[in-house]
Amino acid sequence: MGQTMNIGILTGGGDCPGLNAVIRAVVRKSLKLGWRVTGFLNGWKGVIDGNTMPLTEREVSGILPRGGTILGTSRTNPFKNPGDVDKIVQNLKKMQIDALIAIGGEDTLGVALKLHKMGVPIIGVPKTIDNDICGTDTTFGFDTATSIVTEAIDRLHTTAESHHRIMVLEVMGRHTGWIATVSGIAGGADEILIPEVPFDLDTICNHLECRAKSGKNFSIVVVAEGAKPKSMADFATISSEKDEFGHVRLGGIGQLISKEIEKRLGVETRVTVLGHVQRGGSPTAYDRVLATRFGAAAVDLVMSKGWGKMVAFRSYKIVPVELSEAVEKLKTVDMELFNLTQIFFGDPCERVAEKPISRSKK
């Protein structure tokens, strides 16, 4: 048997179904190797404050199907407050942590990369319901979120049809429209609006009108919270307050376009904002398996001292990739996939645009 290790693990950023499955796999595999696992509470905050819990067989028993994270999470950015990074380095040393596994999205992994460059032995595990991390085909949590949204679209369909209304559904997706695109396709939405493609309300209303003229007396519009009309310079936000990574709280675009559609078309329009329902609850079977594979592979990376790397899912295989590749830019929606949606918009007999929609420059 090789060297006995003491592994630290944390979950940072927005929670996501499947986090507990990763923690469980890391602990179970580590215990088999005779290693110890220490859980840091509430993301980077737990490492700064030295707030931990031991992770043994007992703590991870029964957590596989549970949503959220038993470790708690936060959007703490140690590079924001002077002295916090030093505390991290000191605490890891004091607690004799040989390796740190950071499970998180762009922000958490960005911190992990900076710490790696300072010599901290660190491994990343990608998580986000938004599916916007580069280097990996997908992240756990995304399948669960899109299943929840698809079910919501199905439910909206029956009530929209009964009342002959237009239903606008606002979903998560701060910078990218993966959730809106995939669940919109799965649920048969009549319009899908995403941050990557600024939209034109005249065109949307035109499509909805054509649909009505062709005999369909209801419509479903799915809009990502980060989508905006071409005419709008800023995102619709709930407040101007920013988190420690500089993100404002998005929300309100659904309400805005719903009012405008009703005004322009004179058709009763309702808005539903799914919000955190998309992030809560039990992970799907797909996400449980992906998260379990990620957890086990993270332990393998610790064993091979693959510091500064992240476990990734590529062509059905789990592979290591550089953290730098994962955080240098966001993975935006595949335009081939998005363009598929065009054949379902507007009048069924209308000609599909000859030129596919291309992504606007950010």
* 172 belongs to the binding site for ligand F6P (CB under 6 A): yes
Site for ligand F6P (CB under 6 A): which residue of 249, 264, 270, 359? 249
Binding part of the chain for ligand F6P, among 62-70, 127-135, 183-191, 319-327 by CB under 6 A, reads 127-135
* 22 belongs to the binding site for ligand F6P (CB under 6 A): no
Contact 297, 304 (CB under 8 A): no
Site for ligand F6P (CB under 6 A): which residue of 279, 293, 309, 331? 279
Choose the catalytic residue: 15, 130, 143, 190. Answer: 130
Task: Pull the structure tokens for residue 183.
Answer: 């669940």
Shortest Cβ 218–ligand F6P spacing (Å): 27
Cβ contacts of residue 317 below 8 Å, gap of 6+? none
Shortest Cβ 276–ligand F6P spacing (Å): 6
Contact 241, 248 (CB under 8 A): yes
Binding part of the chain for ligand F6P, among 122-130, 215-223, 321-329, 339-347 by CB under 6 A, reads 122-130
Strands 99-104 and 52-54, how do they pair? unpaired
Site for ligand F6P (CB under 6 A): which residue of 130, 143, 191, 196? 130
Question: Binding residues for ligand F6P, how many (CB under 6 A)?
Answer: 12
- Cβ-based nearer residue to ligand F6P, 139 or 258: 139
42 in the Ramachandran plot: left (φ > 0), alpha (ψ -120 to 50) or beta? left
* 173 belongs to the binding site for ligand F6P (CB under 6 A): yes
Site for ligand F6P (CB under 6 A): which residue of 149, 250, 271, 302? 250
Tell me which residue has tokens 């909805």: 208
C-alpha 303/C-alpha 35 separation (Å) is: 11
Shortest Cβ 173–ligand F6P spacing (Å): 6
Site for ligand F6P (CB under 6 A): which residue of 129, 168, 180, 253? 129
* 7 belongs to the binding site for ligand F6P (CB under 6 A): no
C-alpha 80/C-alpha 248 separation (Å) is: 16
Binding part of the chain for ligand F6P, among 64-72, 113-121, 166-174, 337-345 by CB under 6 A, reads 166-174
Alpha carbon distances (Å) from 361 to 144, 196, 198, 231, 317 = 30, 8, 10, 15, 32
Judged by CB under 6 A, the chain residues 189 through 248 that form the site for ligand F6P are 225
In the annotation, is 287 catalytic?
A: no
* 17 belongs to the binding site for ligand F6P (CB under 6 A): no
Shortest Cβ 19–ligand F6P spacing (Å): 12
Q: Which residue is nearest to ligand F6P (CB)?
A: 172
* 105 belongs to the binding site for ligand F6P (CB under 6 A): yes
- Cβ-based nearer residue to ligand F6P, 166 or 274: 274
Site for ligand F6P (CB under 6 A): which residue of 45, 165, 174, 228? 174
C-alpha 37/C-alpha 50 separation (Å) is: 14
> Residues interacting with ligand F6P, by CB under 6 A?
14, 105, 128-130, 172-174, 225, 249-250, 279
Question: Could you give the residue numbers annotated as active site?
Answer: 130
